[in-house]
Structure 1
Amino acid sequence: MPNSLNPLELIARRWQPSAAFVRRAALATVVMAVIIVVTGGAVRLSQSGLGCSTWPKCTPDSLTPTAAMGINGLIEFGNRMLTDVLCVVIGVFIIAARARHPRRRSLTRLGWAQFWLVMTNAVVGGITVLTGLNPYIVSSHFLAATGLLTVAVLSWKRACEGDETPRELVARPVRQLTWLLVGSAAALTVIGTVVTGAGPHAGDAKKVHRIPLDWQEITQLHVDFVYIVVGLTVALWFTLRAVKAPAAPRRMVLELLACLALQGVVGYVQYFMGLPEIVIGLHMLGSALVWICVLRVSLSLRERGPLLEEDPDEAAADEPGAPEPQSAPALSR
């Protein structure tokens, strides 16, 4: 009976989104994941990490910031509210993916994975506040946001392709080189969080515990991994040319190289200018964009067939000469 159906099933029976709408919804989750990364950095760089003194409320007596908390309370609370916007965007993607026919369970699973990652990261964010910006928790908070961005990119990719068995476009050694690039880029991101935990921008004007490492030495290690990632990217581009790989992967490698070049310029500018907050914010944006490019390069080396833009049953019914659908015979009384 219809009344026993779950809400997503009821929506699926009344609304049929286009494949383009599902793709746009998936892309919106990627955009929101990047915004969450950047605004989270803005909270730290504006020394608003403890703008709300507790969690889940902003103060022990108020859910929202008070006038006495000033701009720091507004910034921290605003970042919390962005989580609600992110949940709405992910919810739209889940509903659109579920309502789309034929049903693609892989898309709905990826959508729910994003939702639970958001919920997990919200709890980690609360622990961050309750522990007074413990640098290790702060680092895990950023890595969880990067995990969300990863699943969002996977969702976007799956929304743009079919459901055939994946077919590799290059030989295994080339894939191994790509995975080495992905692993190096992931290590680069992790080391970047250590630089954050040991560096001067603690996230609050008060004295905050830092990771007991020389942040300049960790920064040098971070730079070393940048060179490794750049070297692997160049090597991959020449390799793809040598094996005559399709144009799309080679174009995406060039996009990654361009993004790495811009990120390198921003990195050196922030170092030689004494780590100004606005430049560090741009560096965090660049970090998210580099990771997106790395994932797109890896995902471009296999294909899963074309995406069906419409329901095959509806397409067949629209063909000239197709028989009219028959109504069910009336039951005799």
Structure 2
Amino acid sequence: MVTIGSNAQQLPGASNNHVLKGIPVLKSQRLAVLPIDSYDLDSELSVVDRHEYGGDYDTYTFGSWSSHVLANGSGADSDTAFRPHDGRLTLTELGRELPGIMSLVTDNFPLDRLQWVRIFSLRDGILAPHVDFLEFAEPGTRLQIPLRTTDESLHSENDIVYHLRRGEVWKIHTTVPHSVRSSVGTARLSLCLDFTDAEEPVAIRNAIPATEPIRIVERPEPTDAELEELMDSGRDLTPETMRAAFRRFAALHFVRRAHAAASFDWYVEAVRRTGDADMVAKAQAFRAYCIEKRGDGEAFVW
């Protein structure tokens, strides 16, 4: 593990897509740290743990991942699929059950551009590397604030793996391949706030000084033997097992120095070793759906 400066603005080349002196650039930014310990959230996090999830994003997710909507444009608990809207931000039934978490939002963030308030839960799971907002004409600003997490819960962005600590406010760079992984045990819960406009800064109130540097995880290079073993596992894939098998390919870039999108390169090559053209086409289509192109409301069918 290595760490870098406590202020995201001090990262070399943080505003662009370059590599400086061989150091990969983290585009996501830690914007602030909130006084999260001043909010009594434990009982409300237990409510989230018990809340049911409709499965809208199961295509991307492996293990136990769920999305819980506290506020959206309609106020309906059943309105869970993210999309930009022109309506007023309205609490859902779940949001009304979580006044402490909603106070964390209203005390510290402006509401005029805020469109969605959600909590993402992840336990012993991983998301397929993906690019957000492909369906929409303009990306917005997505902030994440972990409410409960562990050191083993990690984010990835391109070829970088990093950790979000509890109470840190991160602007996630969602328009490049990125992912998240969490370990077994208690679910990681992360507050997700979606604002209109990707360029306009979000004015955050009541921030406290950061006491910890940003944590970036250093990983060794994958060996040729590891990659060959991974891709050769494709010989045993079937149409019924190929979805579940992708998790192993996505997981590797969290422990070996590789780009998130390489998960799809390895996967497509592995599926080619089945000799099944339909399966290869499905693997290639999954790559396109996750990181290249998809339509509004388009669902991927395995």
What TM-score, normalized to structure 1? 0.24
What TM-score, normalized to structure 2? 0.25
Instruction: Judging by fraction of residues, say which structure has more helix.
Output: 1
Task: Flag the structure with larger Rg.
Answer: 1
